[in-house]
Structure 1
């Protein structure tokens, strides 16, 4: 209490002293030829009394740091001024002492203004006829820096830095007021954090780093004395960048600071001599910022983070304002990247084509239920380094994993069948929904082929031909099944499902097709076969939506964002919404177990007779519930695999980013990348089970297929429709024991149990009985009870003679 009264009294006396001194002395200190300025003692005193006493201390521009998810690994920094404020307790005592000794010997004695210093400066300035000493205290210097950083226009900046008596008066007035509200240590802390020490060292934390590669708490006496000496003229005394005189000016200035420290009794003469003889052991550190200088394997993730930040209105109204906030705001950003998963992903990617290959391959891993991206790896180098021979690789800043209008992605092939399946399930069509998938199908969509003006896709293999459930069609990737399913649901509904799941369409042609599909049921038939351009980020997050039981979460590169004041910003939280019902997502996941070689929980078949799954190595290697889907485009121009468990999703691809019609060397590589990355990534994650789908979405209403063999086609169609089925006809007549023009058989066969609304294929007889293979005929004479002998002509599995259907 006594100290507080003494300090207030001292401040009052200082204020009175300054008011008097302002009119008589100050103008002479700043401008010896005071008459020429038109100033008088009275006008200076009046101006001083009329000045405001409160100074607004703005937050300092500070570097933002992007960290990995562990909160320790630095991925990149962003700054205009590389500064990180630190509390005084984290600054070595010798550094604090050296700073005071270098700039203000009576710092702990005066109350913002040093009267002795002003009088001394007056005498010397008048003697020399010019300004040789300014008599600014450390507090006044801090005030000057604050005014400079507070300036919002050129006039304010000029007023804060120009050599005028008005500026001096303002500094003195604010300095006195400042010392009423802040302790000496608070002022010293602020001064150390705001001062520029050269070489890109804004504030004591960065200065310690760029000169000596250490924290300010670790500075030795010779190091502290050198840094303190830089404050007066950071260009002249800079020992790293002074090309003309080298380190000599810094050493001379260091000696001066050490002698001043002796004056203040911080050091003995012997200690100062020893420090003065110490070599200048510089350890300069790079002072770079941005994603180009990110840790090697994190560059593309860092680039996506910046794009995410610039697109986020939480950080400003326009992109330029948001980027400025990142570079000035001093944010501590803990990213979503899992260092262990990133390392595993990059290792697998690096086993494929090199960075110097024209083919890009990569993987993105996302967390279902949060949208956090855990890994982003690619066989490219992030940066603007010039590529050899005018090529676009290995160096690039294009968002090859996250996408843009310039880099919209790659055709994803059959991975898009997931969205047609989701659209069908939303309409209540169950997984047991049965359709006959021919080798080639003439669809309702526009797009010419040898059958005329209609789009007529083929299956990749003849072994896929036959009656499929939705699960088996997905497991074997039967194109002609999914084209028919898309006709039942509409392209418009499949596109909507993809967008709900999180797919972003950026390609101009795709956007045109979306508009077309909204107007016509004959538009964009190839959608379900994955002819749209998408990115691994899109696909990983879309399948993560299914893994999260239909909860879509916007993909995010962050776990948390903290501002300079330590406030946790809500923008770092997941942003989620309901995209599909949990039951629809569960049913889709059940079918997605089929491609990896697992069985459905519901018991709906994963393959049809003679067919096989497309990625069985995944289910064989991962000893936990897993799902996924392969994808290849025509002529193997791109290869994909998207895999997921209930708590991790990943999408991998291989393609030529510059030429979409270029056959990739190994379209199966993405399966390997996801499989082997998962083997490492999942070890530290708990085993989670998929949730069984409800019966209505697994089986629907099961009905028996009537026996219409031998009936006319019209009669058969009537009976089958009346029984609750749709009907298709194979107009290519086949050998059968039925009269010509009559139904020879159905697929599925009579007596089968399939879901209501499924399609029954009618086959028509040509009236020619198909002879049995003579070898089988002979066998059946010897063993008539063999099952094969009971199969009649026209029925599935009938052993026809060679060359006969």
Structure 2
């Protein structure tokens, strides 16, 4: 006696899926097994779907995370790119007809006929997977695939790992949800809008590569609007398995070519390639001869900006710390990495290069002294930040912790803008002392008595109280007595500075410094002129 087959959970769910799918497609189970009814199922779906709803689904097919770009002052030089997903969104009119046809032939040849769910495709996948026990097949329409990608993207943006799991889990429940959302989408958006959304959201390779425009430039160095039949078929083949079919990986190229030729054959079957010679020439073309690979920009953001990285880091900190770009730092970070912004800055390419060269010529990167040099190039009269120089290699990775020649700290800016806690200003403060002296109505040519020992109480004012004594001398030892403030500045004599402070007190010097824009680095008021000229999405 043959052994009775038991209904496993998987088989029960599969049957439930079949039943639900049949309800969506027309509601009459018997009709599915009759060829004429199968051909009319998509038409019946259009009559049934208005009663089907999934709450909380409202996404714009044209709104996707895009990379932002940081430009130098010439408006052409890209300093860095920032992205959560490496994508440049383009309208459908800027995507070639062969590319549109290739993805339809590969993913959903009845795309323009069904109402979001391809009944015949689902039945074929069901029979192949559960009846014939063959390879698992999804039968998802192009609309369903778009839904899956959007749900994954939204979950990722919300930092919702559970949402990401449910958007990609291999379950009947996920398939049913996709079906319901897909038919809703087809009521709200046109076929061309959905096709545009899919071509911009799909993953077309490794290295975080999304969207057809980015893929076209990565593999062939052309725009999506210029993709030919062979190039389009190559890109369309990737989505099934980006890791295995990415043609930029040499080990993948044999299989990538085979998959490309499958797409070309599907395009011929659908009538997208009408000329037999065109088809034969395409499949005979070696894939490696068609590639013109461009850098995949694996170093995202300032880490990949080379000697422009210190300026890049300064600008990004300005954005992340400014409420003008978002109410919270998370919102500002999202804007930078997903907002598709073009940010035009004040950085002068030549000035930045000159500052870096000056710093490294003064003390080489690997100098045994370990001294660090930091330079800020500022345009006189406007305060525009033109660049930064450092005798260090910019590095925001963990390697900088063990390599003394690498750092992400820019000592020319405040701590919150990428700098450190500051350092002793030394003799660079003496011009501020002279400015305070003149602001107090004193003459720079008045001879002053100087000494090598002062009572700290002599410098006190309402905000600063001193006790004890201060021993001070000049670099050559001793003092010069008498000496004018102007002579003391030219000769950089410390004893003369002490004599000036004794007369005008520390509060006058602090007030002068504040008026000139000085502030403590950890307290973080920033430089007065922003390094961003303009920013637009």
TM-score normalised by length of structure 2:
0.76
1:380 corresponding residue in structure 2: 392
Q: Could you tell me whether the CA contact under 8 Å between 1:76 and 1:290 is conserved in 2? A: yes
2:532 corresponding residue in structure 1: 558
User: How far, CA to CA, are the matches of 1:167 and 1:390 in structure 2?
Assistant: 47
2:230 corresponding residue in structure 1: 222
2:104 is the counterpart of 1:97: no
Secondary structure of the residue aligned to 1:436 is coil
**Alpha-carbon deviation of 1:193?**
1.0
Secondary structure of the residue aligned to 2:389 is strand
Q: Could you tell me whether the CA contact under 8 Å between 2:452 and 2:479 is conserved in 1? A: no
Write the deviation string for residues 518-568 of structure 1: whole angstroms up to 9, x where unpaired.
xxxxxxxxxxxxxxxxxxxx9xx9xxxxxxxxxx95353322222xxx3xx
Given the alignment, which residue of 141, 149, 156 partners 2:163?
156
2:199 is the counterpart of 1:184: no
- The count of residues paired between Structure 1 and Structure 2 equals 481
2:181 is the counterpart of 1:174: yes
Q: What stretches of structure 2 of length at least 5 have no aligned partner?
A: 1-20, 34-47, 459-467
User: How far, CA to CA, are the matches of 1:61 and 1:307 in structure 2?
Assistant: 21
User: How far, CA to CA, are the matches of 2:318 and 2:438 in structure 1?
Assistant: 33
Q: Could you tell me whether the CA contact under 8 Å between 1:346 and 1:377 is conserved in 2? A: yes
Secondary structure of the residue aligned to 2:245 is coil
Given the alignment, which residue of 120, 124, 139 partners 2:143?
139
Q: Could you tell me whether the CA contact under 8 Å between 1:142 and 1:190 is conserved in 2? A: yes
User: How far, CA to CA, are the matches of 2:304 and 2:124 in structure 1?
Assistant: 52
1:249 corresponding residue in structure 2: 255
2:483 is the counterpart of 1:483: no
TM-score normalised by length of structure 1:
0.53
Q: Could you tell me whether the CA contact under 8 Å between 1:67 and 1:335 is conserved in 2? A: yes
2:214 corresponding residue in structure 1: 206
Structure of larger gyration radius:
1
**Alpha-carbon deviation of 1:264?**
2.6
User: How far, CA to CA, are the matches of 2:53 and 2:301 in structure 1?
Assistant: 50
2:246 corresponding residue in structure 1: 238
Write the deviation string for residues 340-391 of structure 1: whole angstroms up to 9, x where unpaired.
3223333444443322223333421224676531111222222268999976
CA distance 1:130–1:77, shift in 2 (3 Å): same
2:267 corresponding residue in structure 1: 261
1:571 corresponding residue in structure 2: none
2:122 is the counterpart of 1:112: no
2:445 is the counterpart of 1:445: no
Write the deviation string for residues 403-458 of structure 1: whole angstroms up to 9, x where unpaired.
5398334433332133334444544x15x3553235645433279xxxx9433333
Given the alignment, which residue of 433, 439, 455 partners 2:471?
455
2:344 is the counterpart of 1:329: no
**Alpha-carbon deviation of 1:256?**
0.8
**Alpha-carbon deviation of 1:105?**
1.6
1:612 corresponding residue in structure 2: none
User: How far, CA to CA, are the matches of 2:29 and 2:480 in structure 1?
Assistant: 99
User: How far, CA to CA, are the matches of 2:300 and 2:529 in structure 1?
Assistant: 21
Q: Could you tell me whether the CA contact under 8 Å between 2:453 and 2:469 is conserved in 1? A: no
CA distance 1:175–1:361, shift in 2 (3 Å): same
CA distance 1:64–1:109, shift in 2 (3 Å): same
Given the alignment, which residue of 491, 494, 500 partners 2:509?
494
User: How far, CA to CA, are the matches of 1:388 and 1:478 in structure 2?
Assistant: 39
Within a 5 Å distance, the mapping from 1:572-651 to structure 2 comes to none
Compare the two structures and name the one with the higher helix fraction: 2
2:56 is the counterpart of 1:62: no
Q: Could you tell me whether the CA contact under 8 Å between 1:80 and 1:327 is conserved in 2? A: yes
**Alpha-carbon deviation of 1:229?**
0.5
Q: Could you tell me whether the CA contact under 8 Å between 1:370 and 1:553 is conserved in 2? A: no
2:420 corresponding residue in structure 1: 407
CA distance 1:202–1:412, shift in 2 (3 Å): same
Secondary structure of the residue aligned to 1:415 is helix
Q: Could you tell me whether the CA contact under 8 Å between 2:445 and 2:486 is conserved in 1? A: no
CA distance 1:454–1:292, shift in 2 (3 Å): closer
Compare the two structures and name the one with the higher strand fraction: 1
2:95 is the counterpart of 1:87: no
User: How far, CA to CA, are the matches of 1:291 and 1:175 in structure 2?
Assistant: 36
